[in-house]
Chains A and B, each alone.
Chain A
Amino acid sequence: MIVAERKPMEEIIQMIAPYKKVLLAGCGTCVAICWTGGEKEVGILASQLRLARSNEENKIDVVQATVERQCEKEMVAELRDKVDGVEAVLSLACGAGIQTIAEVFEDKPVFPAVNTTFLGRPEGEGIWLENCGACGDCFLDRTGAICPMVRCAKGLLNGPCGGTRKGGKCEIDPDKDCGWVLIYRRLEKQGRLDLMQKYYPPKNFRAVKRPGKMQAIKA
């Protein structure tokens, strides 16, 4: 899933300062799971915006809507009636969702209310962990399905840097686990430690030509 966090309130207020009626659009998928842009967060941010601009002279009208997936044009198109009646759109979806809404309604200015941060999964209540860098050249087969590009702060491909702290913590951030310690332990459990002995050449960072595009083969 895509993880995002809400932008600071001052930044949001500044972005929509010139507008008196905005649509606050949420997304019911990834950002809803990471408590950033679902229906509930739309309600909270809308209320905050109304409170921040409660003076008569700069009063704001916030229209609220949440679609199931803001990264799909068909679903975003359902917002047409609401978008027609506002001056601008403030989106709580990830970058893909924000760009979709901007593409569907090209005549309306669209503003991001979140910073899209990483691809990850829920680790515990209120905690999300980055797992995948979407590099396009997956080599999880060699690392016990733990990605060192993401889990190692230095993105090393051939073992730890040598600065691993006691307890298997990262040299850079003692609150985080050393990715290579995790890999070693996983491979040890699987009896595949021989993979640690192998040398792997530098990674192909051009595996995905940006912007990435994929054409599915129709059956």
Chain B
Amino acid sequence: MTIDMSQFYQVFFEESAELLEEMEHLLLELDVQNPGKDALNAIFRTAHSIKGGSATFGFNEITETTHILESLLDKLRNDELQLRIEMVDVFLKAVDVIKVQLAGRQFESEVDAEVVAAICLRLNQLAQGTPAEAVAAQPTAAVAPAPAAEPVPPPSPQPPAQSAELVDPALENLFAILTGTAVAPEAESSASPASTEVAEPYGFYAELPPVDHPDNAAQATELAQPPTEAAPTRRVTDPPGIDKRRSNDRPDNEATSIRVGVEKVDQLINLVGELVITQAMLAQTASRVDAALYESLRTGLGQLEHNTRDLQESVMSIRMMPISFVFSRFPRVVRDLAGKLEKQVELKTVGEGTELDKGLIEKIADPLTHLVRNSLDHGVELPQKRLAAGKPATGTITLRAFHQGGNIVIEVGDDGAGLNREKIMAKARERGLAVSDTMSDQEVWLLIFEAGFSTADVVTAVSGRGVGMDVVKRNVHAMGGRVEIESALGVGTRISIRLPLTLAILDGMSVSVGQEIFIVPLTFITESLQPAKQDIRTIAGGGTVVHVRGDFLPVVALHEVLNIKSKVTDFEHGIMVIVESECSKSAMFVDNLLGQHQVVIKSLESNYRKVPGVSGATIMGDGKVALILDVDALVRTVSYDEAKSSV
């Protein structure tokens, strides 16, 4: 009977990813002057664990790399070598290499063998105390464990997992002689190189007693003692194979959590969403029946509403994860980039425990990374400049997250140079954007979100190409969020991203246009008003604007844009819903406001197809479908049309 090992690969990949993250974290926290036994041991163990797993599952190239890493770490934890800062840099690079190797196995992606060989070489050099430059010119022959060329796979004296064969003792002997006093590949720290230890796969210290009943009985009676002698309580043992178990005697997270597939959670959220819709329908029906006659029914339904809301919150919270999952990558990013830019930067994180939906966590990572890189590149100044300005040489970048209302706010702040209003306006004029000196600071900052905009004097490999900020804004908007900028020249900049706490429900205003009902997300609405006839003007070339407190806002008449027959076509008889989208305000014209609701978002795309101007749908209390409007898209169509018609 053969056992298929590939069923365990996924667990190994996940486990290794976590181990590598832990290793990186530990490395970044290391105090190079005084690392401490515990830290070094912990780092050693992560490498050792990955090595054990990769060897077991036959991922020999990963075993090789981690083995060399482990050996060096072993020397460090045994005080045979002194830790230096360049070692930490090499270790961090090794983490990256192992990540690539793992990905190679998991996704069959490309692995650059030269990069792998280079890091192995460097690790070996460090293990022997050889500086990089001294050996660089020479081929690897001088360094004992040469990659590739030798017939025997260099660093593993253990038998590989695949074959049950023992390593031929003669070959191992030969290898030991060839490598002389080679230190790195040896796992036997005390065995001399000339040791011809046969690699027996297993062994027993004493003659085994024959495995038959009399002995078993003897053992059995011994084992029968426990209840009286050892544990006073017997714990019910879970059926084997179920590793999901709630245990109260260990504070570790591992014993008190369960791994559940994301699809299961999403299914659960979907079902609860349906439940909420059904409950809303019942509530609406119940509101129309005779209150006195059906009092107990209505009371019961009221209770149902409470229970349903609680259930919904509870289920949503399953998908909530602390934002530390995203923040945790930044110490490394800041360290590497600050080093590259020769700047001194300290990263502060506040509110790491703030939770948000798992789906958002995945989507916020890239925009945040871009903002942090921007702060590093353009925000924080070079140390000399900072000192000259009376600032400390080390700049600070602060990542902060907190809940506010029904949102989560994530801030990226720096104490750097701040945004330069004049420069931005000049650049905007250069690019033909409408700019006026009376623009508020806020409006000027928003200019940097225009595609291709960058006032960077030098385009670096990191940023300055100007493709970043507009992508950030677009991504944040796609998540139903907003971006805000605060800045003061010479003092610093703070960019805030405001996101809804969940992707599944939405606070919206339902509006009527003709016979149809639409939902406008509340995050876009600033106010609603009924315009006076004289405030409505048409502009030459088509289009209408409405005068609101000194501003003229373009009107998006929904009945026109969405092609709906409506009785209300005179603007002064309907309602203008003032919406703020991207960077401009507009007025959406609707027949009437119906009310504010919390609605469950249903995907139109997965149930029908993608419809421009519509971001989703929901089912109202009366069972009818209401479309959720994509405010950005609708506003854009109007301005595009106007632009077209005015040419």
A binds B: no
Residues of A within 8 A of B (CB): none
